[in-house]
C-alpha cells in the first residue's frame, strides 16, 4: 500500500517533467546532402575563421572542406608570410603582425548581386581589410586602417562595390592626438571612426577615400542599402552609455542604443568638395601582384577625415532596443532589421519612414550633435517575442527573414510584412551567424540556410577540452525548415558567404603562365638556372620540374652569407605544385610553389656543414628522389662556388660494391 502511494506520487511528479525535443532529421536528409564521388557541390561556402585569421571554403550541401585560405595569419603549409614575396602582406605600421582575428566576409557585388570577383575580409585586431581573389583563392591585397581600433563593423559594401566600409568597435584617441591619457577621459578624448575604402572597378585596388569621425560608441555590424536605399549605410551601435570599464554591466544599462544611418553619397560629395581635413597618419598598404608573384608594402601618409559634428545632413541615429548586433537590410532595400541581443523583440524599420522623419525633422533630440529620430517614426513594426537573444538576420527571397536566437538556441523564420513568426527550429547549440546564399543581396537563393553554432558540447566525438564549432545545414524550400546536416568547422565562423558554384567554378585558375611571370628572380628554363654571388649576398636561381631540381648540388656557400633561394616551378599543367624545404632553417617554413610561379626563401646558414633540400609536396612517382644538397663552408674557406645537376658524380674509385653472388 505504501509502495502504491509512493509510486503514484513519483509518477505524478515525473509526468510534470517536460520532454526534451529530440532532434529529428527528416528521412530523406541523407540523399539531399550526399554528393557522390566525382560529383560537385552546388555552392561554395566561404566561412570566416575568426581567431585563426583564415577563410575556410566548404562545399554545400556536402559540408566538405575544400580549402583553407590564409589571409592574416602566417601559413607554414605553403609559406604564406614566410616567403620573401609574401612577407610584405603582413606588414603594418606597427611592424610585421603575423596574425589577426578575421570576423566577417563580404562578396563583391554588382547591382546588388554577387559577381564572383573578390571576397573582402576584416582584421579585427590590428585594423585591416583584405581582398581575396576568387580566381586564385589567394589574398591579393591588405590595407591597414588609421585612427581605428577593433575593426568589427567591417567589411561591408555598397551594393555596387563603390566602397568597402569599416567601423570601429573600440573608441580610442585619434592617431594624431595624444593617446597617453587616463582611460576614464574616454568621453572627452576617445573617438570612433568609419572608413570608406574605394575599390577600383577593374583591378579591385583599394584606397581609403575618406574617413567619417563619429562619437565614441561601439560599432557592431552594418549593411549597405539596396535599391531605393542605395545611398545609405546602416550601422548597429552599442555602448551609447560610453562606458570604458565593466561593459558587461555598464554597456547594458540603456533600454535603447542606436542604428546609425549614414548618407554616404552625400558624404562622398562633401569629400569631393574638400569639406574634409587631411590628417597625417601612417598605415600600411600591401598589394600582391599575380604577375610578379610578389607583394609590395607601402606606408601611406595621409587620410581625409570628415567629422559628423560638422556635417548636418549625413548622419542620423535611430533608437534600437538593447545593444543591437545584427543590422540587416532586406532584398527590397525598404526594411532594416535590428537584432538587439538583449532585447525580447526584433524591430523592423522602414526606409521610407526614416526619410519622412528626416524631412519632417521628427527628432527626439541630439546625441553628440547627431539628430536622433523618434523610434515610432522610423519603425515599421516589431516582431514580438521571437525568442531569446536575437543576433543575425538574413532573407530567403520570398518575403521572409530568418533570425538566429543565441540564448534560446534556435532559428526563427518570420514574414517581414506581417511580422508574424512562421517557423522555429532548435539548433545545436547557440547560433551566432547564419547565411543564405545571396541572403544579404538583392537576389537571395532561398534553398538553404547554414547556421553557425558557437557551442558544440556533445555533437561530435570529443576531442579534449577544445572542440571545433558546429555548422548546420537546413533546407528552407518548404514551409518548415528541415535540418539536413551537421558538420564541424575550422576556427570560429563569425560570418559566411555562400554563392552558386557555377559563378566561380569556370573562372578558377589552373596554373600560371610562365611566360607572363615578371618576378625579377624568375628562371624561365633549366638553362637559365644559376648561383650568383654579390659580396655576402648569394642568389640561387633554382628550377623545379618532375622530378628534379636544377641545380641540385651547390658548393661554395660560406658562413655569414645571406642566401636567397628563388624557386621557379617550370610545370605548366594542372595540380602539379612543388614544395621546397632546407634542413634546419630557423623561423622559415617550406615554400609551396605553383606551376609558373616563383617564390623566394631567405637563409642565413648558422653553421658550416651539409644541408639537404627536397620537394615536400608529392608531385610524381619519383617525388622521393626529387632532392639536392648544399654545402656550407667556413667564412674564410676558399671552396669555389659551383652548381650543377647530374654532373657532380663521385670518382670511379668509390663505386658502390656490387652484389656478390
- Pick the closer one to other proteins by CB: 180 or 458: 458
Residue recorded with cell 582575428: 101
Record the cell numbers describing residue 541, joined without a space. 636561381
Which CB atom, from 18 or from 465, has the smaller least distance to other proteins? 18
CB of 577 to other proteins, least distance (A): 42
CB distance 213 to 193 below 8 Å? yes
5 sits near other proteins (criterion: CB under 8 A): yes
Size of the site for other proteins (CB under 8 A): 34
Residue with smaller CB distance to other proteins, 4 or 658? 4
What's the closest the beta carbon of residue 570 comes to other proteins, in angstroms?
A: 54
Single out the residue of 64, 228, 301, 385 in contact with other proteins (rule: CB under 8 A). 385
Q: How far is the CB of 459 from other proteins (least distance, A)?
A: 9
Q: Are 49 and 67 in contact (CB under 8 A)?
A: no
Select from 393, 392, 350, 394 the least CA-distant residue to 375. 350
Q: Which stretch binds other proteins (CB under 8 A): 136-144, 245-253, 293-301, 533-541?
A: 245-253
Nearer to other proteins, 325 or 548 (CB): 325
The answer to whether 198 and 168 are in contact (CB under 8 A) is no
Strands (DSSP E) along 501-545, which ranges? Answer: 530-534, 537-545
**Single residue of 25, 181, 407, 635 touching other proteins by CB under 8 A:** 407
Q: Which of residues 442-481 bind other proteins (CB under 8 A)?
A: 455, 457-458
Closer by beta carbon to other proteins, 193 or else 236? 236
Residue 464 CB, shortest distance to other proteins, in Å, is 16
Smallest gap from Cβ 241 to other proteins, in A, equals 12
- 309 or 384: whose CB is closer to other proteins? 384
* ∠ Cα 618 624 627 (to 5°): 105
Site for other proteins in 414-433 (CB under 8 A): 426, 428-430
In whole angstroms, how close is the CB of 421 to other proteins at the nearest point?
8
Angle at the Cα of 306 (from 304 to 309), degrees rounded to 5?
160
Taking CB under 8 A as the rule, does residue 608 contact other proteins? no
- Per-residue interface string for the shown chain with other proteins, residues 200-239, x marking contact by CB under 8 A: ----------------------------------------
Q: Which of 386, 402, 426, 387 is nearest to 477 (CA)?
A: 402
Max CA separation in the chain (angstroms): 106
Near other proteins by CB under 8 A: residue from 41, 85, 101, 410: 410
Candidates 233-241, 407-415, 538-546, 623-631; binding stretch for other proteins (CB under 8 A): 407-415
Stretch that binds other proteins, among 299-307, 383-391, 461-469, 618-626 (CB under 8 A): 383-391
Range 49-88, binding other proteins (CB under 8 A): none
Cα→Cα distances 594→88, 106, 219, 348, 580, Å: 19, 27, 40, 49, 11
List Cβ neighbours of 10 (8 Å cut-off, separation of 6 or more).
none
Per-residue cell: 168: 570601429
Nearer to other proteins, 1 or 658 (CB): 1
CB atoms within 10 A of CB 35: 15
Interface residue with other proteins among 18, 27, 586, 656 (CB under 8 A) is 18
Which of 189/409 has CB closer to other proteins?
409
In the block, cell 609558373 appears at 596
Least distance (Å) between residue 327 CB and other proteins: 21
Stretch that binds other proteins, among 11-19, 57-65, 367-375, 515-523 (CB under 8 A): 11-19
Instruction: Give me the long-range contacts of 42-45 (CB less than 8 A, separation at least 24).
Output: 42/447, 42/500, 42/501, 43/437, 43/448, 43/498, 43/499, 43/500, 43/501, 44/498, 44/499, 44/501, 44/504, 45/435, 45/437, 45/450, 45/496, 45/497, 45/498
- Secondary structure (3-state) at 354: helix
- The CA distance from 55 to 101, in Å, is 11
What are the C-alpha distances in Å from 341 to residues 266, 405, 432, 439, 469?
Answer: 31, 8, 11, 20, 20
Task: Tell me the window of 230-238, 297-305, 381-389, 612-620 that interacts with other proteins (CB under 8 A).
Answer: 381-389
Site for other proteins in 292-351 (CB under 8 A): 342, 344
**CA–CA distance, 529 with 513 (Å, rounded to integer):** 18
Is residue 4 part of the contact set for other proteins (CB under 8 A)? yes
Stretch that binds other proteins, among 9-17, 219-227, 437-445, 618-626 (CB under 8 A): 9-17
The CB-of-478 to other proteins minimum distance in angstroms stands at: 16
DSSP assignment of 460-487: S---SS---EEEEEEE-SSSS-EEEEEE
Distance CA 504, CA 173 (A): 42
Which stretch of DSSP H or E encloses residue 30? helix 29-33
**Per-residue contact flags (x/-) with other proteins for residues 248 to 267, judged by CB under 8 A:** xx--xx--------------
Task: Out of 9, 366, 460, 618, name the contact with other proteins by CB under 8 A.
Answer: 9
DSSP 189: H
Nearer to other proteins, 12 or 527 (CB): 12
For other proteins, the closer of residues 344 and 509 by Cβ is 344
Which CB, 167 or 432, lies closer to other proteins? 432
In the complex, least distance from residue 135 CB atom to other proteins, rounded to whole angstroms: 40
Residues that bind other proteins (CB under 8 A): 1-2, 4-6, 8-9, 12-13, 15-18, 20, 248-249, 252-253, 342, 344, 384-385, 388, 407-410, 426, 428-430, 455, 457-458
Amino acid at each position: 500500500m505504501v509502495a502504491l502511494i509512493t509510486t503514484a506520487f513519483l509518477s505524478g511528479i515525473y509526468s510534470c517533467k517536460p520532454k526534451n525535443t529530440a532532434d529529428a532529421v527528416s528521412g530523406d536528409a541523407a540523399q539531399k546532402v550526399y554528393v557522390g564521388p566525382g560529383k560537385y557541390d552546388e555552392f561554395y561556402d566561404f566561412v570566416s575563421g575568426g581567431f585563426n585569421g583564415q577563410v575556410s571554403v566548404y562545399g554545400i550541401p556536402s559540408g566538405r572542406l575544400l580549402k583553407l585560405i590564409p589571409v592574416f595569419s602566417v601559413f607554414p603549409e605553403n609559406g604564406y608570410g614566410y616567403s620573401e614575396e609574401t612577407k610584405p602582406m603582413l606588414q603594418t605600421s606597427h611592424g610585421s603582425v603575423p596574425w589577426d582575428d578575421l570576423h566577417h566576409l563580404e562578396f563583391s557585388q554588382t547591382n546588388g548581386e554577387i559577381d564572383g570577383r573578390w571576397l573582402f575580409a576584416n582584421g579585427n585586431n590590428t585594423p585591416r581589410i583584405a581582398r581575396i581573389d576568387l580566381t586564385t583563392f589567394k589574398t591579393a591585397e591588405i590595407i591597414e586602417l588609421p585612427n581605428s581600433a577593433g575593426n568589427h563593423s567591417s567589411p561591408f559594401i555598397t551594393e555596387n562595390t563603390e566602397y568597402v566600409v569599416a567601423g570601429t568597435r573600440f573608441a580610442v584617441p585619434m592617431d594624431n592626438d595624444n593617446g597617453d591619457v587616463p582611460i576614464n577621459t574616454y568621453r572627452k578624448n576617445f573617438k570612433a571612426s568609419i572608413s570608406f575604402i574605394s575599390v577600383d572597378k577593374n583591378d579591385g585596388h583599394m584606397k581609403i577615400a575618406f574617413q567619417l569621425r563619429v562619437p565614441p560608441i561601439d560599432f557592431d555590424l552594418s549593411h549597405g542599402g539596396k535599391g531605393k536605399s542605395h545611398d545609405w549605410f546602416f550601422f548597429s551601435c552599442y555602448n551609447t552609455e560610453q562606458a570604458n570599464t565593466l561593459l558587461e554591466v555598464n554597456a547594458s544599462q540603456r533600454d535603447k542604443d542606436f542604428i546609425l544611418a549614414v548618407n554616404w553619397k552625400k558624404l562622398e560629395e562633401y569629400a569631393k568638395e574638400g569639406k574634409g581635413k587631411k590628417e597625417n597618419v601612417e598605415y600600411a598598404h600591401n598589394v600582391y601582384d599575380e604577375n610578379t608573384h610578389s607583394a609590395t608594402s607601402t606606408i601611406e601618409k595621409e587620410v581625409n577625415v570628415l567629422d559628423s559634428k560638422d556635417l548636418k545632413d549625413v548622419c542620423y541615429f535611430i533608437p534600437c532596443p538593447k545593444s543591437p548586433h545584427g543590422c540587416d537590410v532586406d532584398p527590397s532595400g525598404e526594411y532594416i532589421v535590428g537584432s538587439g541581443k538583449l532585447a525580447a523583440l526584433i524591430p523592423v524599420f522602414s526606409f521610407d519612414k526614416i526619410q519622412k522623419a528626416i524631412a519632417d525633422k521628427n527628432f527626439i533630440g541630439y546625441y553628440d550633435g547627431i539628430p536622433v529620430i523618434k523610434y515610432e517614426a522610423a519603425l515599421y513594426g516589431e516582431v514580438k517575442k521571437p525568442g531569446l537573444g536575437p543576433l543575425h538576420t538574413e532573407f530567403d527571397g520570398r518575403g521572409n527573414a530568418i533570425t538566429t536566437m543565441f540564448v534560446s538556441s534556435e532559428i526563427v523564420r518570420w514574414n517581414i510584412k506581417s511580422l508574424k513568426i512562421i517557423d522555429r527550429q532548435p539548433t545545436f547549440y547557440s547560433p551566432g551567424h547564419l547565411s543564405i546564399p545571396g541572403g544579404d543581396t538583392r537576389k537571395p537563393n532561398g534553398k538553404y540556410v547554414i547556421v553557425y553554432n558557437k557551442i558544440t558540447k556533445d555533437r561530435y566525438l570529443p576531442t579534449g577540452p577544445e572542440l571545433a564549432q558546429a555548422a548546420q545545414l537546413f533546407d528552407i524550400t518548404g514551409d518548415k525548415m528541415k535540418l539536413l546536416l551537421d558538420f564541424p568547422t575550422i576556427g570560429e565562423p563569425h560570418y559566411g558567404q555562400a554563392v552558386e558554384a557555377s559563378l566561380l567554378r569556370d573562372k578558377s585558375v589552373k596554373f600560371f603562365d610562365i611566360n607572363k611571370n615578371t618576378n625579377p628572380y624568375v628562371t624561365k628554363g633549366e638553362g637559365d638556372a644559376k648561383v650568383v654571388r654579390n659580396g655576402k649576398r648569394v642568389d640561387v636561381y633554382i628550377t623545379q620540374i618532375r622530378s628534379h631540381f636544377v641545380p641540385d648540388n651547390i658548393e661554395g656557400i660560406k658562413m655569414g652569407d645571406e642566401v636567397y633561394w628563388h624557386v621557379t616551378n617550370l610545370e605548366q599543367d594542372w595540380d602539379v605544385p612543388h614544395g621546397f624545404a632546407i634542413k634546419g632553417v630557423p623561423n622559415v617554413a617550406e615554400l609551396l610553389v605553383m606551376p609558373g610561379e616563383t617564390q623566394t626563401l631567405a637563409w642565413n646558414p648558422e653553421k658550416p656543414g651539409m644541408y639537404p633540400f627536397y620537394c615536400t609536396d608529392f608531385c610524381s612517382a619519383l617525388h622521393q628522389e626529387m632532392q639536392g644538397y648544399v654545402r656550407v663552408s667556413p667564412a674564410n674557406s676558399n671552396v669555389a662556388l659551383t652548381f650543377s645537376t647530374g654532373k657532380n658524380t663521385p670518382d670511379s674509385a668509390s663505386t658502390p660494391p656490387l652484389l656478390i653472388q
